[in-house]
Chain A
Amino acid sequence: GAGVSQSPSNKVTEKGKDVELRCDPISGHTALYWYRQRLGQGLEFLIYFQGNSAPDKSGLPSDRFSAERTGESVSTLTIQRTQQEDSAVYLCASSLASRYEQYFGPGTRLTVT
């Protein structure tokens, strides 16, 4: 079946602008995760959703970052007033439930100029 999809695949924005990144999880997956991957580095946890609630948002770097999820479907990660240090690949993953294997989307490469 279809895997995790993300859009856009690439986003270039000017410093100070807001951006929205979208994730469509695998159908039926109740758990959804956002990670950030800076160039040449590992994945950094941002936020976890179980259904449409976020029991763990401990990885969000600042209050400029927020995320929401509609039911057990699409999630949107919003970054307000983007800064150059926000440049990274933002990866979304989903799993059948919170204790199951996580499957990743292709990511959105965000470049803040």
Chain B
Amino acid sequence: GENVEQHPSTLSVQEGDSAVIKCTYSDSASNYFPWYKQELGKRPQLIIDIRSNVGEKKDQRIAVTLNKTAKHFSLHITETQPEDSAVYFCAAREDSSYKLIFGSGTRLLVRP
């Protein structure tokens, strides 16, 4: 089955700097890759997603890139702000079963 690895586990950046979180997946049949943001004690919220027919997608300060050949995808946050501090999870979806397989999460801290 699918396996998703996520790095780094923690990331600390200065406000205004960029943050990059990387994930790799194992199943070449996976075709949907969402990113979730989870603030402390709150529900995961979908912030951006990408499908396997697209290489890059951007939404304001957030972008996701996908390299199908290498089976990895990344989240890029530019001009980080303290409110970006949270745990970020990547996920991959198996085409046959529709369930999301999550990475282990990255705790992002944006220092004011």
Size category of the A interface is 20 to 34
Are A91 and B105 neighbours in the complex by a CB distance under 8 Å?
Answer: no
Q: Which residues of B contact A33 (CB under 8 A)?
A: 99-100
B interface, by DSSP: helix, strand, loop or mixed?
Answer: strand
Q: In the bound complex, what is the Cα–Cα distance between A102 and B46 (angstroms)?
A: 8
A43 at the interface (CB under 8 A from B): yes
Q: Could you say which of A11-19, A66-74, A75-83, A103-111 contacts chain B?
A: A103-111
A105 CA to B104 CA in the complex, in Å? 19
Closest chain-A Cβ to B101's Cβ sits at a distance in Å of 7
Are A56 and B43 also in contact (CB < 8 A) when A41-B105, A42-B104, A101-B49 are?
no
B22 to chain A, nearest CB (A): 15
Between-chain CB contacts (< 8 Å), 8 pairs: A35-B100, A42-B89, A45-B101, A98-B98, A99-B98, A101-B34, A104-B36, A105-B43
In the docked arrangement, what's the CA distance between A49 and B110, Å? Answer: 38
In the complex, chain B residues 83-112 whose Cβ is within 8 Å of any chain A Cβ: 89, 91, 97-105
Are the C-beta atoms of B100 and A102 separated by less than 8 Å? Answer: yes
| Distance in angstroms between the alpha carbons of A9 and B100 in the assembled complex | 23
CA distance A102 to B42 in the complex (A): 16
A21 within 8 A of B: no
Name the distance in Å between B81's Cβ and chain A's nearest Cβ.
23
For B34, the chain A residues whose CB sits under 8 A away are: 101-102
Inter-chain contact A48/B98, CB cutoff 8 Å: yes
The contact of A106 among B42, B91, B101, by CB within 8 Å, is: B42
Closest to B105 in A: A42
**Which 5 pairs across A and B sit closest by C-beta, in order of nearness?**
A98-B98, A42-B102, A43-B102, A104-B43, A42-B104
Question: 8 other contacts beyond A43-B91, A102-B34, with CB at 8 A cut-off?
Answer: A4-B43, A33-B100, A42-B89, A45-B102, A56-B99, A59-B99, A91-B44, A106-B43
